[in-house]
Structure 1
């Protein structure tokens, strides 16, 4: 029995924090809310440091392995006479690390807190009862050891399959057959180069939050943010298993027992390319009084996998299924809120689940391709185009147009990330294109050339004063605009696109175009990475 317990300590997870014990109270009768960091002994601390450095060195060696192999080959080390001593050195190192792990297990075995944690974890894995899960949530440890709380297989009629959920595919233009052989060779070469780019530095440039070293550097901040969500907001951490096998790390804060209309609305948050639910946009609706469900991209935090579009959509799908089938929310009670690159999964969600109440896209863009072309050399243009469309086609606008519900776009007027020229040129913000595409699709008879020109003029305004000046210059009457839209909607009762506005005057079209633009987009005078205050978070405008 003692040997078995010692082995659990050797191969057990790294314990980071004890949030609180269930129903633990202070001597004065108050419920204990604050937690404390796990206090390891000196033996465990030093051995854990050695294993941590070994892990970091292995990660660096793995990332630099192509260059390392070339260097060793150039020095003549890649030969049978040199490989034998090298393999012996590697075997000795691994044996020493195993010895260090055993010593760490001994240190854990002597720690009463760790022994209590191991017993709770073992019991939770054997019996998935609510009481055992409640006890387990009192600990913060390596998420890979956390038992699954929900799987896509628990849904009777899931949208997903083992092949993944459906995505909108880019349709390449047809080519002639005159030089098909030459084109095939070029296409094959381009395919190979694109694959190598996207699976090496490309994916890491697009999602820097998936880089292990960055996560190690941010670990104290992430652990502090997670402790705040659990101890101050009574957050519940859950592991979801997507259809591709990836494990998705989520955090749910339930406000329903506190009452209020906002508490019964669930806001599902989709983070940016370096965002985590621990320190990301989840805090904005949380401070606004909503129930909130945050999740980490595949490869971020406790989530496994890599953040390619298919994996991202698979993760979003299981998060929605979890909200409906496990947390008890209906789709019309769910709002999707996304920041930056999170607009891709948010737009996929509302496209695939049209019953969702609304979507709010903060500092998002219409399409990844123009932004990728901005940061890459001009000579790489054909290769970048092929790579994006083939592997990382984040077509936010195309997916958003499939949704019929309320939409709100938040534009950062000093955004330095999603502009194609300079941060001060608000006219080059790709959020403008997202708005124009949406309005053109939904109101094509209003968004004619005259309507487009006046909306573009409004979009060039970088301050609230300039925006109000354009709006008042065309003498827009909000009450009149609302009444004419309501009269058409009540008579026709049709889905978008609407055909209303064909017989209107140019002036009326311009007024309606400005009215619709302001209802679908709000300006926030700040940069891309500034957290959105709760006062700036609003649900989208609804006509009815």
Structure 2
């Protein structure tokens, strides 16, 4: 092994014991590596701060007269000095690594994996290192010719720069969304935040690998991104077989929120019920590359689903899509492309991003905000979910402070998403009066329903479906009185909706996670 291997080698976070049980953080005691890493870390932080504050820095420098020919030499000296400091720090770190027994073991495993494809996964699974250097475990393009592969999903396409410059507002909207806008919508993609959370991310990943026998995989998407995923297989788990439907045979694919990562995210809820679970990080989050624009997010979850079907061996009908907060968009889009799934579970999910974005910006910028959202990040869940006809369940956080105004339950955007779904699926039940009745019912936490009311309406809808089939929209209720419609509306709301007395970010207890209700014949 040459010194260059240590200089250019990936960052090592953790070394696992044989079998993945018990691990220790990689903490070098070598003076050169410690100081080289510290200097590089400070340069990285300075770069990220400079990147996000660049408009203010450039304005300041311009006013001080630095954007003139005479100042070029000063700028050149500064950048050269930083470059030399960077090179020296990288060299110091490499020399220090070469003296570290743990890093030497890691480099040996990395070199052996290059010459032995069969041993690659086993050797490198003993280390947690920079995901950029991982080999791709599944490339979605490898199944393009597979006869089992369904027709290619319909992906959103981002507008180009030239299509965005028709008017000044279009131009400003494009600049806004491609600079700070997408980072405001998905703060988890901000590198500075990821750097701050790196310790927690590494610890969370280690917990999954050590205690849940999780397997990390890199998935390559159609648009060239690499997606960081984690898989826990409970198909042969004895505890999973104790549940009615052997939960381990169902795979829950978890889509996190705008600051969520699988390392400490929502997958803990289905895991507590012994489901098999597949977590993934949005493009630009942690190990995943890219940016979380809708088109890239759609390509990412589609690749994750194809990995679950073709590599992990789960039938589509055994998949459950579980989305929390903004991750609901990813799950809803996926459900429209794979309608045969077992069900769709949405927790603390909104109806339309635009109604959340507008109150956060000055009224004078509402036109630009509207263009930015509709043209480049149109997470219109209520409109999208009309294309999905399968079982769906919604969970509302009673004290939600993110998708409700001042934690007022009647303003929770999940209410509007639910009523939009039910209006599309049961048009004769959810007429204008029943929509108003539904809003009134949802303006406070749902209480227990009268058992007889539940039984009577279940019989009505089951009888209708047995004769007419259960293809949506169901036209039941055409001859109902207003009172009968109200009773059926309340029944359907309760069947699709559940309250959890919590704020937006609290972990969801396992008893709130259920396979969505489906009308049985």
TM-score category (smaller protein): over 0.9
Q: Work out which of the residue numbers 496, 502, 506 in structure 2 matches 1:530.
A: 506
Measured after TM superposition, the shift of residue 160 of structure 1 is 8.5
Deviation at 1:48, TM superposition (A): 0.6
TM-score by length of 1: 0.89
Contact 2:169–2:367 (Cα < 8 Å) also in 1? no
Name the residue aligned to 2:472. 496
> Quick one: distance in 2 between partners of 1:125 and 1:73?
50
SS of match in other structure, 1:338: strand
What residue number does 2:483 align with? 507
Q: Which residue is equivalent to 1:485? A: 461
Correspondence for 2:141: 153
Residue 455 of structure 1 corresponds to 438
Equivalent position SS for 2:395:
strand
Equivalences, count: 507
Q: 2:17 aligns with which of 9, 16, 20?
A: 20
CA distance 1:460–1:96, shift in 2 (3 Å): closer
- Selected match of 2:84 from 95, 101, 108: 95
Provide the rounded CA distance (Å) in 2 between the counterparts of 1:435 and 1:63. Answer: 37
Paired residues of 1:241 and 1:247 also in contact (CA < 8 A): yes
Q: Pick the aligned partner of 1:291 from 276, 301, 310.
A: 276
Q: Distance in 2 between matches of 1:269 and 1:185?
A: 33
Cα shift at 1:123 = 2.9
Q: Does 1:521 align with 2:497?
A: yes
| Aligned structure 1 segments of 4 or more residues deviating by more than 4 angstroms | 157-161, 184-187
The answer for the alignment partner of 2:294 in structure 1 is: 309
CA drift of 1:212 comes to: 1.0
Maintained 8 Å contact 2:342/2:515: no
The answer for the alignment partner of 2:222 in structure 1 is: 243
How far did residue 479 of structure 1 move?
1.9
Instruction: Check conservation: 1:476, 1:515, Cα contact below 8 A.
Output: no
The alignment status of 1:217 with 2:196, answered yes or no, reads yes
CA distance in 2, matches of 1:442, 1:414: 28
The 5-angstrom pairing of residues 37-76 of structure 1 reads: 37-40=25-28, 41-76=30-65
Separation in 1, partners of 2:298, 2:483: 43
Map 1:230-379 onto structure 2 (within 5 A): 230-259=209-238, 260=241, 261-379=246-364
Report if aligned partners of 2:298, 2:330 keep a CA contact under 8 Å in 1: yes
Partner SS state of residue 307, structure 1: coil
- Note the residue ranges of structure 2 that are not aligned, 5 or more in a row: none
Where structure 1 has 5 or more consecutive residues not aligned to the other structure, the ranges are: 23-31, 171-183
Contact persistence 2:164–2:174 (CA under 8 A) = no
* DSSP 3-state at the match of 1:530: coil
Contact 1:165 1:314 in 2 (8 A): no
Asked if the contact 2:164–2:171 (Cα under 8 Å) also holds between the matched residues in 1, the reply is no
Asked whether 1:422 is paired with 2:406, we answer yes
Question: Are the aligned partners of 2:470 and 2:519 in contact in 1 as well (CA < 8 Å)?
Answer: no
Structure 1 residues 489 and 169: CA distance shift in structure 2, 3 A:
farther
Give the RMSD, CA atoms, in angstroms.
2.1
Separation of aligned partners in 1, 2:371 and 2:328: 22
Alignment of 1:386-405 (within 5 A): 386-405=371-390
1:116 matches 2:105:
yes
Q: Which residue of 1 is the match for residue 365 of structure 2?
A: 380
CA contact (8 A) 2:426 2:474 kept: yes
Asked if 1:10 corresponds to 2:7, the answer is yes
Q: Distance in 1 between matches of 2:199 and 2:27?
A: 15
| Counterpart-to-counterpart distance in 2, 1:316 and 1:97 | 37
